[in-house]
Amino acid sequence: MQTLESLQRDMDTADDLQSIVRTMKVLAAVSIRQYERALEALVDYQLTVDLGLQVVLKGRSMPPSKKQSPVTGVIVLGSDHGLCGRYNESIAAFALAALDCDPLQRRILVVGARVEAALKAMGQDVEALFFVPGSVAGITQTVRQLLLHIDSWQQQDIERVLLFHNTHQQRTGYSAQTRPLLPIDFDSFSRLKAKPWPSKSLPQFSQDSETLLSSLIRQHLFIQLFSACAESLAGEHASRLVSMQVAEKNIKERLETLTAAHRLQRQNQITEELLDVVAGFEALNEDRKGGSGHPAAN
């Protein structure tokens, strides 16, 4: 049985852990909101790029599809830090299960040291590792690095690139998602050609149409990668929030158990002390009674 001192130490430790978990819950909730706001702001940027594509694609035929290399470029987004359940293991397993190409025909780069470890544990080689941005401001630099790597893949005739990431879900915390980045699906842009222009002023451009189209497509890829990173980060913090909620519940139950044990142990100690006092008092009375029965010496 634990002593009162050991029980008190365990209670103090549980209190400290509970404080840490509450702080992490608040940080996770705040982080989720900042990435959600970034996704909301990205909608206007996406609209601007779509309007630019609508102007450039007006009255022109879609570019022919390029001959694809048998090699597939794969990007997997995960996390650098733990305490988020099976966030990285689930997206790694989802990506490998979804790939329909030979394992030797994959070129995989990852964002997040934890998901890299998960993929390697599943026997998959990783070509490059990028660290997860710690804020919305850091996403831009990460996306630029990914775009440079995609450019190097295209120079090696790798025209098929798939993106795997988790996205934030209110109930479950996160869910896995696939995004095909390359080749560009120009059929999805065909709706823009027939879409009416939103104002009375007809748009014009002076830049070479091919150069402008290339820049707009690059911005389209930037938006896809940026939104995927923001969704992945929101999903990571949502998973961490769920984990912290479970941890807080477990700590609360543990603290209640320790408190009850501490009270019981304290009560037993008080009872023992009272019994010792009563036993001592009774023994003292017996001694007094026994002493009063002897005649006093002359």
Instruction: State the average pLDDT over residues 5-15.
Output: 88
Instruction: State the average pLDDT over residues 210-218.
Output: 89
pLDDT digits (tens, 9 = 90+) for 222-238: 999 999 999 999 999 99
pLDDT digits (tens, 9 = 90+) for 272-284: 888 888 888 788 8
Amino acid at 159: E
Residue 31 — very low, low, confident or very high, per pLDDT cuts 50/70/90? Answer: very high
Amino acid at 272: E
pLDDT digits (tens, 9 = 90+) for 116-170: 999 999 999 999 999 999 999 999 999 999 999 999 999 998 989 999 999 988 7
Give the domains, in start order, of the chain with CATH numbers: 23-247 (3.40.1380.10)
Mean pLDDT over all residues of the chain? Answer: 87
pTM for the whole structure: 0.82
Of 84-93, 148-157, 218-227, 256-265, give the lowest mean pLDDT range.
256-265
Residue 32 — very low, low, confident or very high, per pLDDT cuts 50/70/90? Answer: very high
What is the reported pLDDT for 295? Answer: 53
29 close to 241: Cβ distance less than 8 angstroms? yes
Q: How far apart are alpha carbons 250 and 253 in whole angstroms?
A: 5
Whether 195 has a pLDDT exceeding 90, the answer reads no
Percent of the chain whose predicted confidence (pLDDT) is above 70: 91
Q: How far apart are alpha carbons 173 and 151 in whole angstroms?
A: 33
User: Roughly what angle, to the nearest 10 degrees, separates helices 136-155 and 209-292?
Assistant: 130
What is the reported pLDDT for 298? Answer: 44
